[in-house]
Structure 1
Amino acid sequence: MPRGSSPIVRRQRLGAELRRLREVAGLTGEQVVDRVGWAAKSKLSRLENGRSRPDLADVLDLLDLYQVRGRDRDQLVAITRDAGNTRGWLRAYPVMTQRQRGYAELEAGSAGIREYALSIVPGLLQTAEYARTRILSSPTRGRADGVPAQRPAPAGGPAAETPAAQEPDTEVAARLARQTVLTRQPDPPRYEAVLDEQALLGRGAPPPVRDGQLAHLTSLAMLPNVTIRVLPREAAVGPDFVPYSGFSIYHFTDPDDPETVTVEALARELVLTDRTAVERYARVFDWLRDAALDPVRSRAWLESRLE
């Protein structure tokens, strides 16, 4: 898989193109399913919405039906293979909830990640103790770091969760496994976080766990690809610039892979790929970044809370 690509994003690209090809051919979903001889009529819908890992044979059936040839066909075959690729996460999948898998695929396929945390330290930055505290205190197990409550449309992935994936120890281990993306070699993603003071000193964890988390952040800030900024309460940010919840922006190397935004919500997470919406969140992140302390002062702020 090319550096900076993501199975979720590739499934989305593939689904959108398959839908476009069907519409160009002037066919309904039922007509397509009948002509390729699929027993399950929902298979096409899942493919077009990016909700399932594509089978190459199924995609080839559709490309034959739509008479796609040459370079276009080769490109879609390559995207299909990327969309079904689980290489880096295959070993961890059996112990990851569906929610964790969704973020793992976005994170591990990213060339750049930007996050704003309003009330909870992002999952990629959490210590094991902090993660455990958040998991055990969450009324909806596994939502502590903003992992999507369900695989959002049009992105997709495995639908089932194993009983083992619900255990706190397993969830903590899976979250720590996700964090290895920050130190992967070669080409770790460029990671940038703006952490609201509320996320650092609020009610997210008891003092001993919180102090351990702050110390961990000072260490992570030393990584060459990681930038951490603190947004203190007194920061000069207008009320219109402060979002109601945290969000993450994922950037990919391939310009045809759309930037993706995930937004924390109470019942489920919102996933956006619309260019206008993504650009709006990017502007908000820039405003928050400019209002926050610079990286050196942010590290000093973190260290001062440990004295």
Structure 2
Amino acid sequence: MPLPTSPVIRRARLGAELRQLRRRETLTLEQVCERLGWASTSKLSRIELGQSRPDLADVLDLLDVYQVSPPQRDALIVIARDAATSRGWWKSLGEMSERQRTYAELEAGAAGIIEYQPAVVPGLLQTPAYARLRIAAGHLIDPAVDVEADLRARAARHAVLRRPEPPRYTALITELACEQAGDPVEVWREQMRHLLELAALPHVTIRLLPVGAGRGPVPLTPFSCYSFPDPADPRTVMLEALTTDVRLSTATDVDRYEQMAGCLLEAALPEQETVRVMASRLDG
């Protein structure tokens, strides 16, 4: 079974390809829109920036203007369909906030994910009870957060680790994330058992960062790195912030975060030692 594609990444790739084609033809945004009878340049600008789901008819019109040859045209049509698709499991994402949908679409097509969390268990590894506590805490800061809808969305995202051809997933978490802190004992114990269960999966790796690990500073901001089966799809980094997350896809930015992830992996406990420490805390 082929891996699904990530619509958000396909949109970014399609936009970059269309922008290159327009520049090859030495056309401005205004000139293209005038030829197509589009009211303003904002529509084309959003397509090129990967900020909107493209209509296939619009993409076909653009390919005609840029006089794209059949082999490249066919490849771009496939990408355009992936970029606009609502097929498959993400039809169920209707209730998701735009923020969660972005993560879900990245996860859907990823071949590899490396996630760093300095304070809590990463979302893909959370139990429903643990997730409820985290989401409810977010609701206190932003009353617009729909706790129940976010819980359903989080549960839908968890399926990516159980699909027939799952991504290679690596979680880097600090000791703080494994502390009970103020969580109810049973919620914490269930979460620790769940981590041990997931760590036994062949495609899941969990690495624990001890306090004071590594020579360099430990990042305070959670981030995740995504790679994709098609090497032409841009590698992507997501930075998790309090209100709005940041998506990075330039090679320079991604390289720096992948280097940081490599440094954290070097400082983290080995996989088997991580499992032993988590199990001892659960038994302690």
Bin for the TM-score computed over the shorter chain: over 0.9
The aligned residue for residue 34 of structure 1 is 34
The aligned residue for residue 216 of structure 2 is: 239
Within 2, Cα distance between the matches of 1:282 and 1:294? Answer: 19
Of 58-67 and 259-268, more deviation after overlay is shown by: 259-268
Q: Work out the CA distance in 1 between the residues paired with 2:54 and 2:226.
A: 22
Q: Is there any run of 5+ residues in structure 2 with no aligned partner, and where?
A: none
Q: Displacement of 1:89 after TM fit? A: 3.3
TM-score, with normalisation over the residues of structure 1? 0.86
Q: Which of 218, 221, 228 is the equivalent residue of 2:199?
A: 221
Q: Tell me the amino acid that sits aligned with residue 152 of structure 2.
A: A
Cα distance change of structure 1 residues 98 and 53 upon mapping to structure 2, 3 Å threshold: same
Is the CA contact 1:117–1:247 (under 8 Å) kept in the aligned structure 2?
A: yes
Name the SS of the counterpart of 1:171 in structure 2.
Answer: helix
Structure 2 Cα separation of the partners of residues 273 and 202 of structure 1: 35
Residue from 234, 238, 249 that aligns with 1:258: 234
**What is the CA deviation profile of residues 251-307 of structure 1, one whole-angstrom value per residue up to 9, with x for unaligned ones?**
101110121111122342221111122121111111111211111111111111112
How many positions carry a matched residue from both structures? 282
Cα deviation code 1:203-249 (max 9, x no counterpart): 574443222211110111111111111111143x1234x22211111
User: Per the alignment, in what secondary structure is the counterpart of residue 239 of structure 1?
Assistant: coil
Structure-2-length-normalised TM-score: 0.93
The structure, 1 or 2, with the larger RCO (C-alpha pairs under 8 Å, 6+ apart) is 1
SS of the aligned residue for 2:208 comes to: strand
1:140 deviates by: 4.5
Q: Secondary structure at the match of 1:170?
A: helix
Which string of whole-angstrom CA distances, capped at 9 and with x for unpartnered residues, describes residues 15-46 of structure 1?
01111212222222122112101235421111
More helix by share: 2
Residue in structure 2 matched with residue 147 of structure 1 by the alignment: none
Query: Aligned partners of 2:259 and 2:125: how far apart in 1?
Result: 23
**What residue identity is the alignment partner of 1:184?**
R
Is 1:195–1:230's contact at 8 Å kept on the other side of the alignment?
A: yes
Provide the residue aligned with 2:148 in structure 1: 169
AA at the equivalent of 2:150? E
Partner of 1:25: 25
Q: How far does residue 90 in structure 1 lie from its aligned partner after superposition?
A: 3.3
The whole-number CA distance in structure 1 between the counterparts of 2:142 and 2:91 is: 22
Provide closer, same or farther for how the CA distance between residues 202 and 32 of structure 1 changes in structure 2, counting only shifts above 3 A. Answer: farther
CA distance in 2, matches of 1:243, 1:110: 23
Change (3 A) 1:205 1:220: same
CA spacing shift, 1:85–1:46, aligned 2, 3 Å: same
Counterparts of 1:39-58 in structure 2, within 5 Å, are: 39-58=39-58
* Corresponding position of 1:148: none
Determine the structure 2 residue equivalent to 1:133: 133
Aligned-pair identity (%): 51
Q: 1:233 to 1:137 in 2, by over 3 A?
A: same
Aligned CA distance change for structure 1 residues 172 and 110 (closer, same or farther; 3 Å): same
In 2, distance between residues paired with 1:174 and 1:99? Answer: 11
Q: Tell me the secondary structure at the aligned position of residue 114 of structure 1.
A: strand
CA RMSD of aligned residues (A): 2.0
Q: What is the CA deviation profile of residues 169-204 of structure 1, one whole-angstrom value per residue up to 9, with x for unaligned ones?
A: 22111101101100101x111111111112221657
> Offset of 1:13 from its aligned partner?
0.6
Equivalent residue letter for 2:101: R
2:180–2:188 Cα contact (<8 Å) kept = no
Q: How many Å separate the matches in 2 of 1:34 and 1:113?
A: 42
CA distance in 1, matches of 2:141, 2:25: 44
Between the aligned partners of 1:26 and 1:259, the Cα distance in structure 2 is 28
